[in-house]
């Protein structure tokens, strides 16, 4: 696998590469927005899918014992978490559909739900679109890091609060929450009898020097941990998700949702892909993590040298760089316009992650280094156009 190889993805009905005109108003830009990788999906996954296609019938499937075992082994070997088989439930369309089920089945329609901000948009949309009250709880910015603030969290809770949706590792800030921060969430949840839905779909992409702690290992009975191979192995086109649910009542309620929605059968390719990924793609993932970590460093160094007005928030996980444009003094609309029409690069604007994201843009760095450098050059030409950057101070 050559991670430096630039793969032409245009013309494959790729959301990232073939939908830019609809989203940004022009086709000729380099996309650094949606969270998939421009690296090839691991060969063992592609081979397993090809293998399965040797049989000509693609009917309904069941989940084999091997399938459960692959998840159990992965969680034990990668994250030190021993999970009994009965805790596992699968949600073939992916994590967001699973979290939707948790909200609708486990909270009453008048409930309020906490999400830390800025937040991956679909998480807050799920709360709002299901008619629940969203409690936006900003992460506190301390020395360039975004951290969980216990006092602030507690002050925002209401008598009707039923759930905290945690995102760890955190999209978009790249934080891997510490044992102390997760302990705060666990304690508050215990005291106030809240369910914690821990969206851990980025947990396999923790960068060297950091360690992911699955929320479920803290011992709280009423947590639900959501993991998925989609980010890990770049298989978002054949989605799958696993929910780890220790509490039997919660599990039963969630399974009732899967039943109602006819989600008990996997997509064959999602299942085959996940099994191959968890079984055979650990070393592929290690290489990708090292490359992504080097890309994060590359962006930080490049900006320090060429565009010191932009600051990159230090990433602890994910291939998402959270870039701070506040010192440019430009509005988001103005920056967006320049990025698209002068720099020809597509980045997610910070307010897609809520008001707490004002002044930031999110850049996906899971691509060959040369491509990343061209993107950074695009940002530079966007900001330098007509002397956009004002002197600071």
Residues that bind ligand PLP (CB under 6 A): 35, 94-96, 120, 167, 171, 199, 201, 228, 230, 236, 239, 241
Least distance from ligand PLP to the Cβ atom of residue 173, Å: 11
Least distance from ligand PLP to the Cβ atom of residue 393, Å: 36
Q: Which is nearer to ligand PLP, 123 or 184 (CB)?
A: 123
Contact status, residue 364 vs residue 33, Cβ threshold 8 Å = yes
Q: For 174, left (φ over 0), alpha (ψ -120 to 50), or beta? A: left
Q: Which is nearer to ligand PLP, 302 or 353 (CB)?
A: 353
Q: Which is nearer to ligand PLP, 95 or 225 (CB)?
A: 95
Least distance from ligand PLP to the Cβ atom of residue 319, Å: 11
Q: Which is nearer to ligand PLP, 112 or 230 (CB)?
A: 230
Q: Which is nearer to ligand PLP, 167 or 383 (CB)?
A: 167
Q: Which is nearer to ligand PLP, 167 or 224 (CB)?
A: 167
Least distance from ligand PLP to the Cβ atom of residue 383, Å: 26
Q: Which is nearer to ligand PLP, 289 or 382 (CB)?
A: 289
Least distance from ligand PLP to the Cβ atom of residue 263, Å: 13
Least distance from ligand PLP to the Cβ atom of residue 199, Å: 5
Contact status, residue 348 vs residue 323, Cβ threshold 8 Å = no
C-alpha distance across the termini of the chain, in Å: 47
Least distance from ligand PLP to the Cβ atom of residue 8, Å: 23
Q: Which is nearer to ligand PLP, 148 or 383 (CB)?
A: 148
Least distance from ligand PLP to the Cβ atom of residue 122, Å: 7
Nearest residue to the partner ligand PLP, using Cβ: 94
Least distance from ligand PLP to the Cβ atom of residue 95, Å: 3
Query: How large is the angle between the packed helices 95-106 and 248-260, nearest 10 degrees?
Result: 110
Q: Which is nearer to ligand PLP, 95 or 328 (CB)?
A: 95
Least distance from ligand PLP to the Cβ atom of residue 171, Å: 4
Q: CA-CA distance, 177 to 156, in Å (whole number)?
A: 20
Q: Which is nearer to ligand PLP, 167 or 288 (CB)?
A: 167
Q: CA-CA distance, 381 to 342, in Å (whole number)?
A: 7
Over its C-alpha atoms, the chain yields an Rg (Å, rounded) of: 21
Contact status, residue 215 vs residue 223, Cβ threshold 8 Å = yes
Omega within 30 of 0 (cis) for the link into 172: yes
């Amino acid at each position: 696998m050559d991670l430096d190889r630039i793969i032409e993805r245009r013309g494959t009905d790729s959301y990232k590469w073939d939908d830019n005109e609809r989203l940004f108003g022009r086709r000729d830009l380099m996309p650094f927005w949606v969270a998939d990788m421009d690296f090839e999906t691991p060969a063992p996954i592609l081979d397993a899918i090809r293998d399965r296609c040797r049989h000509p019938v693609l009917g309904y499937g069941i989940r084999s014992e091997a399938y459960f075992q692959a998840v159990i082994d992965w969680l034990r070997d990668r994250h030190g978490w021993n999970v009994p088989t009965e805790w596992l439930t699968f949600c073939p369309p992916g994590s967001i559909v699973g979290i939707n089920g948790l909200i609708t089945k486990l909270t009453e329609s008048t409930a309020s739900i906490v999400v830390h901000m800025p937040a991956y948009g679909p998480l807050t949309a799920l709360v709002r679109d299901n008619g629940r009250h969203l409690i936006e709880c900003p992460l506190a910015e301390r020395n360039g890091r975004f951290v969980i603030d216990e006092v602030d969290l507690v002050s925002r809770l209401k008598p009707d609060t039923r759930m905290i949706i945690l995102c760890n590792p955190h999209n978009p800030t790249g934080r891997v929450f510490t044992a102390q921060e997760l302990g705060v969430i666990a304690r508050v949840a215990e005291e106030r009898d809240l369910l914690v839905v821990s969206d851990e779909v980025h947990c396999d992409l923790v960068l060297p020097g950091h360690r992911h702690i699955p929320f479920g290992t803290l011992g709280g009975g009423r947590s639900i941990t959501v993991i998925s191979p989609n980010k890990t192995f770049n298989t978002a086109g054949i989605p799958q998700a696993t929910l780890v649910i220790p509490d039997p009542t919660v599990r039963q309620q969630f399974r009732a949702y899967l039943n109602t929605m006819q989600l008990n059968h996997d997509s064959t390719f999602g299942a085959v892909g996940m099994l191959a990924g968890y079984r055979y793609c650990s070393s592929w993932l290690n290489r990708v993590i090292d490359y992504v970590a080097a890309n994060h460093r590359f962006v930080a160094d490049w900006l320090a040298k060429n565009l010191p007005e932009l600051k990159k928030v230090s990433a602890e996980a994910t291939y998402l760089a959270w870039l701070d444009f506040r010192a440019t003094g430009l509005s988001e609309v103005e920056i967006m316009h320049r990025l698209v029409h002068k720099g020809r690069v597509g980045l997610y604007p910070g307010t897609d992650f809520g008001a707490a994201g004002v002044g930031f843009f999110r850049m996906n760095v899971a691509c060959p280094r040369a491509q990343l450098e061209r993107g950074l050059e695009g940002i530079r030409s966007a900001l330098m156009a007509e002397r956009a950057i004002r002197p600071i101070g």
